[in-house]
Each structure stands twice: as C-alpha cells, then as structure tokens.
Amino acid sequence: MRANRPPFRVGLIQMRCSADPDDNLRRASEMLRDAASKGVQVACLPELFLTPYFCQTEDAAVFDLAEPIPGPTTEALAKVAREAKMTVVGSIFERRTAGVYHNTAVVLDVDGSLVGRYRKMHIPDDPLYYEKYYFTPGDLGFKSFETKHARVGTLVCWDQWYPEAARLTALQGSEVLFYPTAIGWHPSEKAEFGEAQASAWETMQRAHAIANGVFVGAINRIGHEGAADGGIEFWGGSFLADPFGRVLARASRDREEILVVECDPRLQEETRRNWPFLRDRRIDAYAPITQRFLDGS
C-alpha cells in the first residue's frame, strides 16, 4: 500500500447472466465501458459471469465451458481494460489441465496485462451449490495485486464467510477486497429466511471491512436461474463498504446496475489510526487457529 495514493473510483458490475456466453461477454464489456465513461478506474464483474450458475446440477458436459488462462475471455477483458485504461477483475471457469478446474478471479491492469490470478480457496457443497464437483480448491494462497490505481485483493463468493481469508488478504496491503459472487435464495425458503440470509451476507462482509480497515466490494448477479419451480433467485444487492463498515452504495435486488464509488486511501489511514486492530493483534497467541477444532483430538 503506497503512502499518499490519490482516491480511486471503483465500479461494481451487477448483471443478469443468460444462457449465451457470447451475449454475456458482450454485455459485460459494454457495462465495463460504460463504467469507464463514468470515471471508474477499477471494476469488478460477478462470479462466473460468462454463463448461468451451472453448479445447481452435476453434469460432466459442463466442463466443456472451462477455458485456460490466458484464454479467450481474459483476452476479451484485457482488450476492454486496455481501451478503457481501467483495471478489470473478472471471474473465470479455469481449465488448468484435463480433470483439474478452478473457480478463478483474474486481475487485468490498465495496459491489458494479466497482473495475476486467485483461485477460490473455499469450495461449497450445498443444495444447488455443488461446486466441489466442478472446482479443485485453490492452491495459490490468498493474493493481493498492485495495479495502477489501487492494491486489489480478490476473494470469491464462499470465501466471504471466512475472516481468515479477509485477514490474510488484507495483511498483504490490500486497499480494497473484491468478492465476485453468485448468491441467492431458494425460492421456497425466501419468505421465511430470505431477509435474514441477505442481512447475514452483507453483515459478514461489512465486518471484514471494519476488522481489517479496508474497502470491501461485493458483486452479485441478479435473476432467477434453474428449474421454474425451484432453482435460485439471485438477490443482487451488490454493495461497497468503507473501512468503517459504512455502506457507501448498494444496488437493487432485481436490476442490472453499475455502482460507482470513490475510495479514498486516506480514510483507510485515518480509520486504522483510530481503530488499530492490526497493531493490537496477538500474533504470538494464534497458533491454534490452524487446527480444525480445539477438542484435543
């Protein structure tokens, strides 16, 4: 994290994802260019934006959707980044080799160069979220990337529930943590649990912002996907929180939107001076955190 870095403008791209990858890439590129016209310098797309959320079922044919990195989608996003002079964070279904696939976030800088990649570390296995079938857990560790306008940390969806992931990414100097996401309601549960689920999701990420003194951007998709009498209703609600945990901008539940927010690194400096959580960490006492559970076995 460089001292006295000027404010940078972030764009969160909340979008609907159709069954046509070419259409999704075209619309994502248009939204990124629109964001650049609004002065956005660092933009992030939702998780696996190129396709519908295919993890609702287990289907070996879906592996044909995966692609290498660099590959066609990263090349297309790099072209947009280069033309718009904007850093772009994209979420890709990565084919590493036959039988090894990852859920990967890529960071492309203003010249179109691939600054780096982060492979999703925490892989869920829940009803309609059968990600363990598709994704090998990440093996690159937690990552932070220096770009022209900001030092960017990337995590992906299920990672957002883990304070350890946010902490280890923030400790590498991140000024903003991005969470490209695909999260929604099971329609049959929405009436009873929907408000509490969405609130927990937002609260958890705002807590990461506070605990680490960083900006946090959560970028979700919208729309119903899957079976008409079931599936998932993605709840949108993309937002950006400041290092004090305040939500600076929040998107709707059901519309495609571009959230544009100015992030001032001086606020990070000021917040950490007054809430010096990093200073007061007892790093000498945290060794047991590497154990699964402290039951003596």
Q: For the segment 180-191, what is each residue's pLDDT rounded down to a tens digit?
A: 999 999 999 999
For residue 55, indicate whether it is catalytic.
no
Helical (H) or strand (E) element with 204: helix 187-212
pLDDT for 3 equals: 59
| Residue labelled with tokens 């329609």 | 187
CA separation for the pair 23, 19 (Å, rounded): 8
Mean pLDDT (the chain) is 97
**Positions of the chain with pLDDT lower than 50, given as ranges:** none
**H-type alpha helices, the chain:** 21-37, 72-84, 131-134, 163-170, 187-212, 265-274
The active-site residue out of 44, 55, 120, 131 is: 120
Active site residue 30: no
Active-site residue, selected from the candidate residues 17, 44, 47, 94:
47
> According to the model, what pLDDT value does residue 104 have?
98
- Give the model's pLDDT for residue 244: 97
Cis peptide before 70 (omega within 30 of 0): yes
pLDDT tens-digit profile of 157-196?
999 999 999 999 999 999 999 999 999 999 999 999 999 9
Choice among 131, 157, 175, 263 that is catalytic: 157
Which pLDDT does position 5 carry in this prediction? Answer: 85
Domain map (residue ranges) of the chain: 8-290
Top-tier CATH class for 8-290: alpha beta
Q: 8 near 38, Cβ under 8 Å?
A: no
At 255-287, the pLDDT tens digits run: 999 999 999 999 999 999 999 999 999 999 999
Cα–Cα distance for residue pair 154/118, rounded to 1 Å: 7
Specify whether 256 is catalytic. Answer: no
